[in-house]
Structure 1
C-alpha cells in the first residue's frame, strides 16, 4: 500500500495528461467532425445539394478512417505527428492521431443524427424560401442537437479508450502509467487501480453527456 501511495504524484500527472489529451482531441474532433457530418448529409442522395461523386469519396474516406485500428493509425500518421508537434512521443503528440481517428468517427454519428430530423420540417423551411445553409443552421442542427450531443459523448468515451492505447507507444497518460508501473513491473494492483480510475473517468463523462442530451431533448 505504501508503494502505491508513493506513486500518487505520477498517477495524478498521468490522469492530467489523459484529461488534457481527451479534452483537446474532443474540441478538435467536434470542430472537424460536425461540419464533415453535415457535409455528408448535404451531398448525399436526397440531401440539400446532392452530389453522388462527392458523397462516395467522402464516405470512403470516413469509412476508412473509422475502420483503421487505432494502434495502426498511431504508426501510420507518425510523420504527420512529427511535422506538427516535433515529436511522436508524449501526450501532445498523441493528440494528433486521436483527432484524426475521432473526426471520421464523429462525422458518421452526426450524419446519422441529422438523418433523424423529420423531412417535413426541412421541406417546410425550403418552401418558405430558406436557403440551404439556413436550413442546416436553423432546422437540422437545432432539431438534432440532443442526438449530436449524445454522439459527442460516445466519441469522448472512445477517445479515453484510444488515449489509453496510445500509452503503449509512449503517448503518456494513464495507459503509459499502467504499462510502466503496472505491467512491466508485474504490479497487478497498480494496473487494477489505473483501470478503476479509467472507468471512473468514463462514467463521469458518460453520465454528464447523457444528462446534457436529456436536458436538451426536454427543452
Structure 2
C-alpha cells in the first residue's frame, strides 16, 4: 500500500513487486545504450554488468552515443514501456551546449514546436544560461525541457536552426535527477520511492 491505497502490480510478464528493480544511471559520453555492438564500441550494458548490476536490464530514455546523463534501467519490461509511453508524460530536462547565434526567433520556434524532415516535434521549454541571447556565435548553454523522447530530437531541432550541439546532458527524467550521482555511477531506487513511482503511473493506478 502507498498512503493507504493498494497498488496492483502483478502483470503476467513482469517480476513480482519484491523482485522489481529500478536503477538511476549516469551515462558516460562515448558509450552505446545497447546490449551489444558489432563494431565493438563501449556499451552501457557491458559497463553496468562489470559494476555488478543485473544482466538483461531494460533502458528507459535512451541517449545517443555522444550524449550523457540520466538513464533509468529496470529488470521489468512492462515498467520500462510504461515510463517511456507518451501517456505517462514524464518531463525530460537537459543541459545543452550549442554554438551559434541565439536570436529570439530561434528560441520561439523551439517553444512553438517544429517539423524537421517531416517529423513533428512538440513544444519545448527553453532557457538560456548566462544571458547569451542575441547575435553572438559563442558557445551557450541551454536548459531544455520536453515531454517526448524522439530519436535525437534536440540535436535535429538545434541543427535545423543553425545551432551546433557540442554537449548534451540529460539531468532529469520525471521525478528523478542526477543530483549526487557522479559520471558513470549507478544507484538503486529505494522500494518506497519505487512504490510512489508506480502510484504516479497512470496505467497502474488502482
What band does the TM-score fall into relative to the shorter chain? Answer: under 0.3
| Structure ranking higher in strand proportion | 2
Rg comparison, structure with higher value:
1
| Structure ranking higher in helix proportion | 1
TM-score by length of 2: 0.24
TM-score by length of 1: 0.23
